[in-house]
Amino acid sequence: MEWVETTGRTIDEAKDAALDQLGVDEQEAEFEILEEPKAGLFGLVRREARVRARVRPTRPRPKVDRRDRKRKGPERRPGSERRGGGSRSGRGGDAEPTDGGAPVSAPEESTKDAVPDGGAPPVQRKQEPARRKVSAQREGEPMTDDVVDVATQADLTVEFLEGLLAAFGLEADIQRNQVEEDVVEIDVAGNDLGLLIGPKGNTYTAVQELARTYVQRKATGRHHGKVRLDIGGYRQRRREALARFAHQVADDVLSSGVQKALEPMSPADRKVVHDTINEIDGVSTLSEGQEPNRRVVIVPSA
C-alpha cells in the first residue's frame, strides 16, 4: 500500500485525515510524523503538522521497499460517509454541503481551576532512558518496523507526565487502567490541575500532543494500541456533556424532521457524537468539511 501524506493543525487532526483517506481504523494503519505543528503569534498556527500513513502490511516487506519511504502519497480527495443509527460503521468522511441551517454549538466544559494561558514556567524535563528497549528518533528519520506495545507507550506517557508535573511544581496521582486489551487510560488526579487544562481545554489538548510526540520520539516503530489521557476528570466530563448535547439535538431532528449541523469539532469530540447518535434509532450522522472546520451533521434516517 502506498503511503499517503496529510496535514492538520495537530498531529491528531493530520492522522484523522490520513485515516479518512485510507478508509481504515487507527489500529490498521502505521504513521510517520514528518513535521510537528508550530504555533505562531496570538495562538495562530505557523506550521501545520504533517504525517505519512499507510495500511499496515500483514507481513514484513522486502528490504528493497524501504528505499521508497520518501515517496509522496496522492493528494487527498474529499469523500463522504453516512453513519446509521444503531450501527457502528467506519470513519466519517466529507459530505456535500447541507442546508441544515446555522451550526449548533456544543456546550463548553467549565473548568473552575482553569487559568488563562501565559505566566506558566517553561517545561524542563530530564531525559531518562525508557523502561523498555526503545531508541531515540530524529526528526525526519524513517520509522522502523519494530512493534511498540501499548504498555511501553503507557510507561513513556507516565514518564512524561511525571516530568511535566515536577516542572510546574504540582502534586498529583497518576493511575493506569487497562480498559481493553490494547487500550490504556491514564488518569491524573489532584488539586490545582486547572493549569494543565486551560480555557476550553486548550492546554489539555496541548499536553496530549506533547505526550504523544514524546512517546513517538522515544520509541520508534509501529505503535500498537492506544493510550488515553485524562487530567482532573476533564475528558470524562467533556464526553458526558457532549453525549447529553447530542441526545438533545437528535430529539430536535426526530421531532422536526430537519437535519442539524453542529459546530466544528476536534476528531475526538466528533467521535463522541458519532458513537452517541449511532445508538439512537431514527437518526444518523454525516461528517462534512475540511480540518479545522470539519463538523458533524445529524440527519433523519431514511
Q: pLDDT at residue 25 above 70?
A: yes
Q: Which residue has the cell 485525515?
A: 17
Around Cβ 239, how many Cβ atoms within 10 Å? 18
Grid cell of 220 as nine digits: 520508534
Confidence of residue 107 (pLDDT cuts 50, 70, 90): low
Is the peptide bond prior to 142 cis by the omega test (within 30 degrees of 0)?
no
Mean pLDDT of 61-67: 47
pTM for this entry: 0.51
Share of the chain above pLDDT 90, in %: 31
Mean pLDDT of 79-83: 46
Q: pLDDT at residue 68 above 60?
A: no
Pairing mode, strands 45-47 and 49-55: unpaired
Write out 156-192 in H/E/C secondary structure.
HHHHHHHHHHHHHCCCEEEEEEEEECCEEEEEEEECC
Specify the pLDDT at position 248: 94
Mean pLDDT score across all residues of the chain: 76
pLDDT, one tens digit per residue, over 190-226 is: 988 999 998 888 899 899 999 999 999 998 888 888 8
Written as one letter, the residue type at 253 is V
Share of the chain above pLDDT 70, in %: 68
Q: Which domains are assigned to the chain?
A: 4-57 (3.30.30), 82-108+236-300 (3.30.1370.50), 147-234 (3.30.300.20)
Instruction: State the number of CA atoms in the 13 A half-sphere of 238 facing the CB.
Output: 23
271 vs 112, which has greater pLDDT? 271
d(C-alpha 227, C-alpha 219), whole Å = 14
Q: pLDDT at residue 285 above 90?
A: yes
Specify the pLDDT at position 293: 87
Nearby residues of 32 by Cβ (< 8 Å), 6 or more positions away: 3, 51, 52, 53, 69, 142, 143
Pairing mode, strands 49-55 and 82-83: unpaired
Q: pLDDT at residue 141 above 70?
A: no
Instruction: State the number of CA atoms in the 13 A half-sphere of 242 facing the CB.
Output: 22
Specify the pLDDT at position 252: 94
Specify the pLDDT at position 284: 93
Confidence of residue 153 (pLDDT cuts 50, 70, 90): very high
Q: pLDDT at residue 41 above 80?
A: no
Mean pLDDT of 27-32: 83
CB 171 within 8 A of CB 190: yes
Specify the pLDDT at position 160: 95
